[in-house]
Amino acid sequence: MNYYEQQIADCLEKLINTVDSFVSFFKDEKDFNQMVYTYWTVKDVLGHVTFWHESFARNLQDVSESRKATPLKGKLSDVNKMSVDSTREIPVSVLCQRLIKAQKIISEHIFNTTVENIPYKKGSRNYSRLEQLQVVNSHIAKHLRDIINKLK
């Protein structure tokens, strides 16, 4: 394994741990209706993270399997609103299962060396495999910190 692939392996391990920590948070009984951000509850943040993780998994799998990826389109603020609106009625347990499934897809395809770039969103630049792992890990970890700090 070359240095770049080792970096991907290390980042993947961090992401798996972050996703596991995120999902574990939702296994205990807590007030998931508590507000974390101005318009988002704890559960809304779970929906948001799941929505984006599924998008990453879908785009990575499409590119890995030589299909044309269909990244999300629209202004980031609109897509983020859609991420919450489209998952608001889905039970926490189902969202956690979907997040875990998306992570498994990412883990299965992230080492495909034919994947040079992964689409993120229409109108935005693509990311390398390593960049995408780093950005996603940071994104989920930030939301988890915000939730934990809010529920202290």
Over the stretch 81-97, which tens digit does the pLDDT of each residue have?
A: 999 999 999 999 999 99
Task: Region of 74 please: left (phi>0), alpha (psi -120 to 50) or beta.
Answer: left
CA distance 119 to 58: 10
What residues contact residue 125 under an 8 Å CB cut-off, 6+ apart?
none
**Which pLDDT score is estimated for 132?**
97
Query: Is 130:2 a contact under the CB 8 Å cutoff?
Result: no
Query: Is 100:92 a contact under the CB 8 Å cutoff?
Result: no
Express each pLDDT in 50-107 by its tens digit: 999 999 999 999 999 999 999 999 999 999 999 999 999 999 999 999 999 999 999 9
Instruction: Name the token pair of 21.
Output: 């920590």
Express each pLDDT in 5-36 by its tens digit: 999 999 999 999 999 999 999 998 889 999 99
Structural domain boundaries in the chain: 3-150
6 phi/psi in degrees, rounded to 5: -70, -40
User: 145 or 150, which is more confident?
Assistant: 145
Q: Could you tell me the sign of the dihedral formed by the alpha carbons of 31, 33, 36, 41, in that order?
A: positive
Query: Is 57:118 a contact under the CB 8 Å cutoff?
Result: no
Percent of the chain with pLDDT strictly greater than 90: 94
Question: What CATH code would you report for 3-150?
Answer: 1.20.120.450
From the list 86, 57, 85, 87, the residue with the least C-alpha distance to 70 is 57
From the list 16, 13, 115, the residue with the least C-alpha distance to 59 is 115
Residue 152 reports pLDDT greater than 80 = no
Is the pTM here over 0.85, yes or no?
A: yes
